[in-house]
Amino acid sequence: MQTYIIAEMAWGYTGEYNTAIEILKATKESGANAIGIHITDMETYMTKDYLCTAGQTLSDRDEPKDSENVYDYLNKINMSKEEWLKFDEEASKLGVDIVAMCNDYESFIFSKQMNVSQYVIAASLFHENNLLKQIVKYKNDIIIRIGGASLQEIDDIVSFILNINENAKINLLAGIQLYPTPINQLHIKSIKTLIDRYKDKNVTLGIADHIEGDHKYAKYLPAIALAYNIATIEKHITTDRSLKLEDYEAALSGDQFKEFVDYIRIAEVALGDDNLNYLINPENEKYRLVLRKRVLAGQEIKEGTTISEDMLVFMRCDKGVELEYMSEIVGKKAARNIEKHTGIERTDVN
């Protein structure tokens, strides 16, 4: 089963509908399964004087960050409901799933007018119980970003969702969301710990990757997580990285994203299945026959001679029984004269 790849647009369209469509088309051309979007009703999402004093929110822009508060900036680059509905229509035409993170209750209510395949729950929503209940009851295929959450909070949100609907599908996206995330903060091996922790629940794992887009391994490192049988990979996408649009730090351009998806698909083929059936497939049997040594005469053996093991040698040869069948040769009499370094078949003894 292929990994579900989400091209995370977030605020990367920077308020321009045409840019959003450009990113959507790049998502389709890349071969990704879905585009990740943020739907936000600014008036109910944050206060107008919010300064994000606890961390970084805005991407690098030419003007100083303090020249415009967070609310005004995000409100300016936020698409209208009408534009989101048009975007939804285009995504349906292209056959690209929409994975939506609704930042507030009003946005969730609006999103019901769209063809949302899955909802993303970020750690910021973990304690908004009413909103969470509404989402799970409406669509029980949930992606949870665990960046910014404690382990206890992850346990609690998983239990909370399963208590609402025991058949809910939960996909935990491992990875912390820094802008960008340093390589030494990826901790991909932690996925195995999370798999073991939730193995008795209806939980799958994925990775939300936020490596710097310009890093030479940005297109390749997330594929390591495939070895843990993850279900989902989320990675940011933008148009041209040099434009430095919002959320570009960890994003790949359209062409880069296609290379990223191609690499993931090749890596999936290379990983194959987790069974050992390849040990008995025709290709492996052919190699086995070429590789294995056979039983040969280590000296000239006259017809009628009883063959002992010390008369034999083991060499790679096109003729002769394989070593595990040597007992069918030792103790038998030669049915013909056998020259030195000649393979001994079952028909050569009686």
- The domains of the chain are located at 4-274, 278-348
In this prediction, residue 312 carries a pLDDT of 98
Token reading at 185: 């903060």
Among 261, 268, 224, smallest CA distance to 5 is for 261
List b or e across 182-199, with b for residues whose CB sees 16 or more CB atoms inside 10 angstroms. eeeebebeebeebbebbe
Would you call the peptide bond into 222 cis, given omega within 30 degrees of 0 as the criterion? no
pLDDT of residue 200: 87
Architecture of the CATH domain 4-274: Alpha-Beta Barrel (3.20)
Phi, psi of 21 (to 5 degrees): -65, -35
Residues of the chain with pLDDT under 50: 54-65
Query: What's this model's pTM, rounded to 2 decimal places?
Result: 0.85
CATH 3.50.50.60 at 278-348, yes or no:
no
Q: Would you call 61 helix, strand, or coil by DSSP?
A: coil
What per-residue confidence (pLDDT) applies to 280?
83
- pLDDT at position 67 is 57
